[in-house]
Structure 1
Amino acid sequence: MNLFNIALMAMLLVLGACKSSKSLEKSEPSKPVTTADTQNFLQKVSDNNVQSVKFITSKIKFQVQVGAQDLTLTGNLKMKRDDVIRLQLMAFGFVEAGRLEFTKDYVLIMDRINKQYLKVPYNQLDFLRTSGLNFYSLQALFWNELFQPGKMRLTDEAMNEYETSVGDGDVVISLEHDKMSYKWLAGSSKAEIKMANILYKDKLRGNTQLNWDYNNFKPLGSKQFPTDNAITFTTSSGKEIKLNMKLNYIGNESDWETRTEVSGKYKQVKVDDILRRFMAL
Structure 2
Amino acid sequence: MRKLSILTVLSASLLIVACKSKKVIVDATKEESRITLDNRVLVNGILDNQLSFNTFSAKAKSAVAINKDNYDATLNIKIKNQEAIWISITTVFGIEAARVLITPTRFRMMNRINGTYIDEPFAFLHQFASEEITYGNLQAMMVGNMIDQALTYSNEAKKGDLGYLLSGFKNDLNFLVRTDDNFRVTNCSLSTYNQEHQVNTDYSDFALIGKHPVPKDIRLTANSSAVKLELQLKYNRIALNEAVEMPFTIPSKYKPLSGIR
Q: Same fold (TM over 0.5)?
A: yes
Q: Provide the TM-score with structure 2 as the length reference.
A: 0.85
Give the Cα–Cα distance (whole angstroms) in 1 for the partners of residues 96 and 27 of structure 2.
36
1:41-72 Cα shifts (integer Å, max 9, x gaps): 21010111121x21221221110112332221
Which residue identity lines up with residue 135 of structure 2 in the other structure? F
Aligned twin of 1:31:
34
The answer on 1:196 being equivalent to 2:222 is no
Once the 2 structures are TM-superposed, how far is the Cα of residue 244 of structure 1 from its aligned partner?
Answer: 0.5
SS of equivalent residue, structure 1 residue 125: helix
Aligned twin of 2:120:
120
Aligned twin of 1:261:
249
Once the 2 structures are TM-superposed, how far is the Cα of residue 238 of structure 1 from its aligned partner?
Answer: 4.4
Equivalent pair of 1:11/1:100 in contact (CA under 8 Å): no
Kindly report which structure 2 residues correspond to 1:144-163, keeping only aligned pairs within 5 A, or say none. 144-149=144-149, 158=152, 161-163=154-156
Give the Cα–Cα distance (whole angstroms) in 2 for the partners of residues 131 and 5 of structure 1.
22
Which residue identity lines up with residue 209 of structure 1 in the other structure? Q
Equivalent pair of 1:8/1:109 in contact (CA under 8 Å): no
Kindly report which structure 2 residues correspond to 1:240-279, keeping only aligned pairs within 5 A, or say none. 240-252=228-240, 254-258=242-246, 260-270=248-258, 273-274=259-260
Equivalent pair of 1:77/1:87 in contact (CA under 8 Å): yes
Query: Are residues 55 and 108 of structure 1, via their aligned partners in 2, closer, same or farther at CA, if it must alter by over 3 Å?
Result: same
Which residue identity lines up with residue 185 of structure 1 in the other structure? R
Give the Cα–Cα distance (whole angstroms) in 2 for the partners of residues 260 and 183 of structure 1.
35
Equivalent pair of 2:83/2:103 in contact (CA under 8 Å): yes
Equivalent pair of 1:61/1:245 in contact (CA under 8 Å): yes
Which residue identity lines up with residue 58 of structure 2 in the other structure? S
1:52-106 Cα shifts (integer Å, max 9, x gaps): x212212211101123322211221111211111221113453211112211111
Aligned twin of 2:223:
234
Once the 2 structures are TM-superposed, how far is the Cα of residue 255 of structure 1 from its aligned partner?
Answer: 3.8
Aligned twin of 1:278:
none
Give the Cα–Cα distance (whole angstroms) in 2 for the partners of residues 6 and 229 of structure 1.
22
The answer on 1:176 being equivalent to 2:169 is yes
Give the Cα–Cα distance (whole angstroms) in 2 for the partners of residues 93 and 221 of structure 1.
33
Give the Cα–Cα distance (whole angstroms) in 1 for the partners of residues 66 and 4 of structure 2.
11
Equivalent pair of 1:17/1:208 in contact (CA under 8 Å): no
1:256-279 Cα shifts (integer Å, max 9, x gaps): 433522121111124xx347xxxx
Which residue identity lines up with residue 41 of structure 1 in the other structure? L
Aligned twin of 1:46:
47
Identity %: 20
Once the 2 structures are TM-superposed, how far is the Cα of residue 7 of structure 1 from its aligned partner?
Answer: 5.9
| Count of matched residue pairs | 254
Of stretches 73-82 and 7-16 in structure 1, the one that deviates more from structure 2 is: 7-16
Aligned twin of 2:22:
none
Which residue identity lines up with residue 213 of structure 2 in the other structure? Q
Once the 2 structures are TM-superposed, how far is the Cα of residue 27 of structure 1 from its aligned partner?
Answer: 6.0
SS of equivalent residue, structure 2 residue 139: helix
Equivalent pair of 1:57/1:78 in contact (CA under 8 Å): yes
Aligned twin of 2:23:
none
In terms of fraction of residues, the more helix-rich structure is 1
